[in-house]
Amino acid sequence: MNYDDALRRIESIETALSRTTWFRGYRSRLVLFSAISGLLGALGQPFVISSDQSPAGFVYFWVTIAILNLALAGVVLFCRNRTVSSGCDRKLVKSAMLAMLPCLFAGAGVTFAILKAAEDQIWMLPGLWAICFGLGVCASQFVLPEWTQLGGVYFLISGSVVLSWGSRPLDGTEIVATFVVGQTLNAFILYWTLERPSPSAGAAHD
């Protein structure tokens, strides 16, 4: 076996390990922070967006909040990628990012299309955002504990329910029903499955 073959085999082993190891870069506190920012956004929306303002103002307001949360998550992932030492951990970071990117691009594309060509259908966006995000969570099943799929399923169901409400005033209720509740659920699942101290560790400490 030559040097190149050995490197390829090592890389294939690392890839296989990354698919059977949980990604720990998504911390429950970060996910819960995004839920809190959504709740604060819903409470503050009436003071930022007037009732007679174009529905596009609703989109710009929530897209800004989403970008801030994504930027914070991106910084956390970047810092984690800089600090991990093994190739397997780096592949986990890459896999986690690649799992979410398609849904983010889909959400951005749908938002742009509706703003550009169907502004009267902006009421559909909160539901579509939730469905896109739910698909991203479900796509992360290979790097996150299986219980996180509950969060993804919640986003899919709540997004569909919000869409079934039909056209209505955009007052932030849709964001609370989908994103705030969904991210709170995800934060709890991440804490319970990845961060909660194990009983055996506590017993050993005693």
User: What's the pLDDT score for residue 146?
Assistant: 79
Beta strands in the chain, from DSSP E residues, in sequence order = none
Per-residue confidence (pLDDT) for residue 96, from 0 to 100: 72
What 3-state class would DSSP assign to 22?
coil
**pLDDT the model gives residue 18:** 45
Q: Give pLDDT, residue 68.
A: 95
Report residue 170 as tokens: 């955009």
**pLDDT at residue 76, as a whole number:** 80
Query: Token pair of 164, please?
Result: 């079934």
Give the Cα separation of 76 and 25 in Å (integer).
Answer: 8
Predicted local distance difference test score (pLDDT) of residue 15: 52
Helix, coil or strand: residue 172 = coil
**Which pLDDT score is estimated for 143?**
74
- Distance, CA of 14 to CA of 122 (rounded, Å): 44
What is the C-alpha radius of gyration for the chain, rounded to an integer number of angstroms? Answer: 20
Q: What pLDDT, on the 0 to 100 scale, is given for residue 114?
A: 95
- For each of the chain's 206 residues, which pLDDT tens digit applies? 566 676 677 666 655 554 445 565 578 899 999 999 999 999 999 999 876 677 889 999 999 999 999 999 888 877 766 766 555 566 777 777 788 889 999 999 999 999 999 989 999 999 999 999 999 999 887 777 778 889 999 999 999 999 999 988 888 999 999 999 999 999 999 888 877 776 554 444 44
- Those residues with Cβ within 8 angstroms of residue 8's Cβ, 6 or more apart along the chain or in another chain: none
The confidence score (pLDDT) of residue 204 equals 47
